Amino acid sequence: MDIHLNAKQLKSDVKLVISGSKSESNRILLLQALYPYLKIHNLSNSDDSEFMQKALQSVSTIKDIHHAGTAMRFLTAFYATTAGQEVVMQGSSRMHERPIGVLVDALQQLGANITYLENQGYPPLKIVGKNITLNQVRIKADVSSQYISALLLVAPKLENGLEIELLGEVTSVPYLKMTLQILTDLGIENHFSGNKIIVKPCEKLTLQEFTVESDWSSASYFYSIVALQPIGFTTHLASYKKSSLQGDSVLQEIYKDFGVETIFSENQITLKKVAHPTKQSVAYDLRNAPDIAQTIAVTCLALGMGCNLTGLHTLKIKETDRLLVLENEISKFGASISTTSNTLLLAPFNVELFATNPEIAIKTYQDHRMAMAFAPLACKQPITILEAEVVTKSYLAFWDDLKRLNF
């Protein structure tokens, strides 16, 4: 499904309800599998969370999580540490190109029985669940925080808990802190000091219910849209809280540079365009919030600003090589952009070129964030988003919500 967009005059003051955070949802779903009496509210309706739920509920020994990377990592740890379970973890062709060796190595240190069925270090995996009694493990921390979170989530049900030694600089620290805070909220004792994390065994949670906050990554696309509107334009998003666990909540600080103010009121935020940007170029280290890199790069392009984004090394092993494809698609507008394995550099752009461009087709590369990050550019010129249905991976109602704004 391709979608043609030409957003000339948008409707201000619209209120949108954003689905629960995919990151929080998948963490709490795994904990619910360990503690079945736990009730969850505002669960994400994303494909990733759906695949996570289906895998946990299915009696099949083949667990196909398609393109859900979080589910692959979390469920690998879950089944490896659940005695009596024998499963095959598999996914899409792209999932079989995404490395998982760091996590498998750590689980094997603990005595887990995991076999690679095709390529060493990559899914699909055969897992024979075991009762794990060892409680010390070392893991590389500079590749993906999801590997560490996978271990943390199963740790409270291990007989002796778990002590994790982190090797190297930790990637995406807010996501790691999110996992630990959720454990704390549920009454699971844990300690994080220096390069060591300790999680104590826990038989019963002190909390019976958990409400998932709405997804800040999904909010990023509306920050981008508001940044491109006249002063005074507003959009309201629910349900968000000021003390968020999500790393992408840094949006409220970053988008001040683009003239967007974030106003908290009860369980919602109001995004308001209050000023025109004054900087010709911006620079951000996104190591703790890499999922908003695409949104920021496209916002800068639309405003004619340059940007220097760093801390992006995890983007090359996502649904696609996000740095390479960002360079491909942004170049179509005549902008000067270059990337390395860790950085993106966009030169200030002459926005008058938008008026001379024909309608440009944006390839999405089976990546939901490519579709959503580029959609706001329709405020500047007509664009087509190819294979637009990919947004269901994280934000099922995205195109419907854009229609409410008059896209």
The catalytic residue positions are: 291
- C-beta separation of 238 from 49 below 8 A: no
Residues 6+ apart with CB under 8 A from 358: none
User: How is residue 262 written in tokens?
Assistant: 């974030």
User: How is residue 212 written in tokens?
Assistant: 């998932």
CA distance 53 to 49: 6
Q: Residue 322: which of 247, 251, 250, 372 has the closest Cα? A: 372
Q: Residue 390: which of 406, 372, 374, 366 has the closest Cα? A: 366
Is the CA virtual torsion 359, 363, 368, 373 positive or negative? negative
272 burial (CB, 10 Å; 0-12 / 13-18 / 19+) is buried
